[in-house]
Amino acid sequence: MNHTTSPKRSLTTFDIGALIIGTILGAGIFRVPSMVAGQLNNEYFIIGAWLLGGLISIIGALCYAELATTYPNVGGEYHFLQKAYGRRLAFLYGWARSIVIVTGSLGILGITLGDYMTKIVPLGAYSSTIWAMLVIIVLSVLNAIGIKEGKTAQNFLTVLEVLGVIGIIVTGFLVQGATPQEIQASTSQPSFGAASLALVFVLLTYGGWNEAAYVSAEAVDQRRGILKALVLGIGIVTLLYILVNLSLIQAFGASKMGQSNALASDLFDLAYGHQSAIIFSAIVVFSCLNSINATIIFGSRSSFALGQDWKLFSWIGQWDESGSPRKAIFLQCLIALVLVFGASFARESFESVVEFTAPVFWFFILLIGISLFILRKKNPDQEIPCPVPFYPVLPIIFILTVAWLLWSSLAYSGWGALVGVACLGVGAVILLFESKH
């Protein structure tokens, strides 16, 4: 254990809520509505899917609020797994998170940002890659300077992003381009397979709320702060997602929604003409900046926890006076840059990074859901500030949902998934070497 400066309670409920909103409200809302509409083709099922996604996310958040308030620690999920399953499994998660999960998320967001920044300021043949790498470097340096600078940037970017999404909502309702017949394109019920796939897309768009566990030790309100921030953050995002889809249905109709690959961009073209492409690109860029900044803050905390517990990684287990784990941030930045650079040679860079990340991520989230039962049994006398309501029904719903998402990510992934699993295997080899010391 490294006796360095420790995390301080410096994040208010608003700060944590902004981090949660920033992590969830990424570029997915600009891409996924058309994919969901294509599967469901009916306004009621479309809105129902987004509402159900929000409810499932709230259930997961209630499970995480119990864990985070009962066992507050900068290691977040890494800490929960360690208490439930022991040091070795926790090490594998810490390794996977540092090498695959967080860096994969940074890669996905960076590549998306690069694609849209290129429409505003092109930088040549490799413009998207250059922009992605540049932004990851700049925001990593900003957060390494200190948590005050990082959270200030986060709060500012969250406000800008929410305003941008509200702009899309208002535009959709003002256009009113669809007829009543087009709005409800089909009265038939979608197949189970189509509905399941649509919900997979929806839940992926809600992903990121679990990151709140990594700032539980830095919450000013230790007892209820995480719970309030999770409910507030997911509630706001759910409302925005439903309003976005209602406005798009109003503008295009359910059937046309499913036929577009760039629905929000098409909306701006319809309302303001082709010159509006730069406005829309700017909204997506701010959205990605927001999510990248939040991911850097959350991700560095788990790397710090790994360094605190394992000698081989002790050099990243240092907390600086600035209020941030600088070495963990810089390591995370370096790995993300390598991933973005490597993905630039893939035919579909965005999809390849998703395949690389998703199966490993959902596997460990499943174990964390199960850990709630294990920890209650192992520590029956432990005080639980925010117990999950309707236990054990809600945790079981969460576990079954995550198990289904794990299966779906494996079923639809390609070679990228094997690379992610291979990285996990490397972590297992390192664990064997570390165990001998």
DSSP characters over 330-369? HHHHHHHHHHHHHHTTSTTHHHHHHHHHHHHHHHHHHHHH
User: b vs e for 265-282, b when ≥16 Cβ sit within 10 Å of the residue's Cβ?
Assistant: bbbbeebeeeebbeebbb
pLDDT attached to residue 374: 96
In single-letter form, the type of residue at position 341 comes to F
The rounded distance, in Å, linking the Cα atoms of 81 and 92 is 10
Listed in order, strand segments (DSSP E) in 194-259 are: none
Task: Give the H or E element holding residue 86.
Answer: none
Could you tell me the two tokens for 77?
Answer: 């999920």
pLDDT attached to residue 244: 92
In single-letter form, the type of residue at position 135 comes to V
Predicted confidence (pLDDT) per residue in 110-145, tens digit: 888 888 888 888 888 888 889 999 999 999 999 888
pLDDT for 3 beyond 50: no
Q: Using an 8 Å Cβ cutoff, are 332 and 296 in contact?
A: yes
Q: Report the range out of 202-216, 228-242, 308-322 with the highest average pLDDT.
A: 228-242
Which residues on neighbouring strands pair with residue 138, listed in sequence order? none
Of 24, 4, 20, residue with least CA distance to 12: 20
Q: Using an 8 Å Cβ cutoff, are 252 and 260 in contact?
A: yes
pLDDT attached to residue 2: 45
Predicted confidence (pLDDT) per residue in 378-406, tens digit: 999 999 988 999 999 999 999 999 998 88
Angle of helix 349-378 versus helix 87-96 axis, rounded to 10: 160
Task: Give the H or E element holding residue 174.
Answer: helix 147-175
DSSP code at position 26: S
Query: At 11, is the secondary structure helix, strand, or coil?
Result: strand
pLDDT for 73 beyond 70: yes
Query: Going by C-beta distance under 8 Å and a sequence separation of 6 or more, which residues neighbour residue 94?
Result: 75, 78, 302, 303, 305, 306, 309, 310
Mean pLDDT along residues 67-84: 88
DSSP code at position 219: B
pLDDT attached to residue 139: 93
Angle of helix 127-145 versus helix 102-120 axis, rounded to 10: 120
Predicted confidence (pLDDT) per residue in 318-361, tens digit: 887 777 888 889 988 998 898 888 767 654 555 555 666 777 78
- CA 418: distance to chain centroid? 21
Mean pLDDT along residues 247-269: 80
CA 418, 422, 423 angle in degrees (round to 5)?
A: 120
Query: Going by C-beta distance under 8 Å and a sequence separation of 6 or more, which residues neighbour residue 224?
Result: 69, 385, 386
Name the CATH topology of 13-435: Amino acid/polyamine transporter I (1.20.1740)
Report the mean per-residue pLDDT for the chain.
82
Could you tell me the two tokens for 338?
Answer: 């390598």
Which residues on neighbouring strands pair with residue 11, listed in sequence order? 219
- Please state which of the ranges 77-86, 307-316, 363-372 shows the lowest mean pLDDT: 307-316
Domain ranges for the chain, please list them: 13-435
Using pLDDT thresholds of 50, 70 and 90, give the confidence band for residue 1: very low
